[in-house]
A and B are shown apart, each in its own frame.
Chain A
Amino acid sequence: MPHAKGRATARELLDLQSHLMLESNLAGQFNHFARECTDPQLRQMCESFARSRMDAFQRLAQHTNMGTIQ
């Protein structure tokens, strides 16, 4: 998704990079939790949350297609 003003701020870009890393880690962790837990309900929840984090990652990653930093 293009940046509304054509250019991202340096802060936005650093924050985005940091947050993409967080969402990616969470997706991995929740998948791991799903494999480790015994209760099917909890497993299902962990799997669903892992997918959701992955979706968030993909959605936010679209913003990296923006212009050069200020």
Chain B
Amino acid sequence: MTVLWRAVRSVPPWVLATITGVLALCLPFLNLDYAVGRQIQLGLILALIVSGIGLSLGYAGQLALGQAAMYAAGAYSAGVLAIRGVTDVLVQLLVSGTAALLIGLLTGVIGLRLGAWSLAMTSFFLVLMIPDVLDVFESTTGGRTGLSGIPPGTVFGSVLTPRDFFLLIVVVSLLWFAVVRNIVTSRHGVAFQVLKESEVLAASTGVSVFRMKLIGYAVGAIPAGLAGTLFANLDLFLAPTSFGLHLATSTLAAAVLGGMVSVYGPLVGALLVQLATWQAADFQEWALVVYGAFLILGGVVFGGGIAGLVRRGIRALDRRFLPEPVTDDTGGSAAGVPPLPGEELVVDGVSKAFGGNQVLTGVTLRAAPGRVTALIGPNGSGKTTLLNLVSGFYTVDDGRLRLGEVELTGLPAHQVARRGVSRTFQTPLVPPVISVRETVAAGRYSADRVSIIGALLRGPRHRAVSRRDREQVRDLLDLVGLARVADAEASSLPLGQRRLLEVARAIASRPKVLLLDEAASGLDEQEVAVLARLLGQVRDAGCAVVLVEHNFGLVLSTADEIHVLARGRLIASGPPAAIEADDRVRNEYLGIADEASVGGVA
């Protein structure tokens, strides 16, 4: 069994995908029964729509119900084009895909302004409006009576036989799923998952949250548009009733059933829903009830759908038959930190108030490259606020922030990150589902930029960057001693390892400044020692390290320069020895700066 399973696991995933693809290409030539063939074609069309939902909801995390509207837009643009004499299906596909993308971009830009609910409702509204819009353009679309008399599709002038058309549907579907695969297995796929779990983390790795959500939603519209063209050429008749709420809910249910965070889950879900619709005579009557139940069940118990179940099954078999990776608790290794040329971080007269509460007043400090600068102070003194101002999560009321000669004041978080400011979080932000390796790779997002188009076409730049990604991630994992758990689920690591993982992710972006927010909290002495050594290495690599820390011991042993904040003002700065000896710091840190009370109680 072990040998068998190991053999199965050694087959690369693309082999299975290729075999499936080749089998699918054979389908049109099998002389299938007409009804069966038609159901397969409808199933593939549905799968395209569902796959768009997967991109939008599964990856970008945006519930969009408008796929039915994009589908309608695609179908009608193809139908109208055909009637006007443009029967070439390839042209129709191009037009319908573009039309769907444009609708997606337009409604996305507006719908995303308020957040998840408004995008869901805006896109849902599109579906409700389909019959009305068709009515408005009744002379072209046929309104409620439908659009008939669509001439059969052609490719380069020759009319497609039913078999040719079947083949075309298969080819379009295969190409689309290849596109999805290329996107989600690239760094953008990881960025999507990070974004879904934590927008804060996504922004701090240089991902533009708004843009990424918009891309997921709008690109998810394209396959629905393509599906529309295929449907128009399959039936050669269109009516508004084909594109209603029923379709919207059935496609969403299919996505939940198949599993959305997956390339092929939507395909499986769509085929199953199509099969149920066809085979179970009573299904239509109960369809809405069943879809509703699926959506609830999907949300409550089996979030990953069928794809999630398969993934869990594979993991269970791995545990059963493959040797357990040994975790390396000692951490650290001989691998060095690559050179990280730093820049000076300048905080100049920064002030910030929340409501009537003045949190920071005129704070000025510098963090030099190749040095560890610590920021300490009692609770509520404004340390974390300062960190959030530097990383762009808040905007300063007054004062300026600079990185070397580059102005940071007023930049949003992802722009700050792209200019070389990297950070960790008080509670490690390690999203579930993704692996240790991918977590570190997520940090590389802004280091070597590759466009989504580049990733999708697997161009030379994408391949070069992917190779660098793999090498650097491997080196960093070696550095923090997590190489042996590289494929484990990152969120399942114990706290100490999650903290080291965060540092590795932060270094992966090749930062000029590294900000650490309470990186030692919750660690035992041995783990603190590993962290201290790592910080020393990062400093020696040239990076400017800023440490916001409670652990006085760690601060005294690693910092070159300490700044003390109290009630939003900087009260002392200097090397550790001077700060430790400063009575004023002791009193601010531990008591009231009131001479009479110092030592006055016994």
Answer yes or no: are A and B bound together in one complex: no
Q: Which residues of A contact B (CB under 8 A)?
A: none
Q: Which residues of B contact A (CB under 8 A)?
A: none
